Amino acid sequence: MELPSPPPEPLVEFIAARFKVLSEPMRIRILDRLRDGERSVGELVEELGTSQQNISRHLATMHRDGVLGRRREGNRVVYWIADPAVLELCEHVCASFQRHVDELQRVVNA
């Protein structure tokens, strides 16, 4: 999909909000864990070694912005990636970073 030029204001706001959601390192760590499948809040707390309050705050933000889905299972809340495009975005950023590192390595070794 090609962006219209100039992009309509609601689209600009959506794009900025999506990047804002992904701007926190803990949210990237959470997405990495959810890449392999659903996780409960407790599982994420244990895997990421942080507080439930911290994890819950980040999960709530990502759910509110449509990145994650959630459901209640008894007294547990389970999350999953609802918008797989966020993983594609992360992969594009990683690939760009790798190209940059490769280019710097070529310059250093020249």
pLDDT, tens digit, 9 for 90 and up, residues 67-96: 999 999 999 999 999 999 888 886 767 776
Residue type, 81: I
Within-domain flag for 90: no
Within-domain flag for 101: no
Percentage of the chain beyond pLDDT 70 is 95
Within-domain flag for 96: no
Asked whether the beta carbons of 66 and 82 are under 8 A apart, the reply is: yes
Structural domains in the chain (count): 1
Within-domain flag for 109: no
Within-domain flag for 37: yes
Give the number of other Cβ atoms within 10 Å of residue 99's Cβ.
10
The CATH number assigned to the domain holding 47 equals 1.10.10.10
| Amino acid 31: pLDDT | 95
Within-domain flag for 47: yes
Residue 3 has pLDDT above 90, yes or no: no
| Amino acid 14: pLDDT | 85
Helices (H), 1-110: 9-21, 25-34, 41-48, 52-64, 85-109
Q: Which domain holds residue 24?
A: 9-83
Mean pLDDT of all residues in 50-75: 96
Within-domain flag for 38: yes
Mean pLDDT of the chain: 89
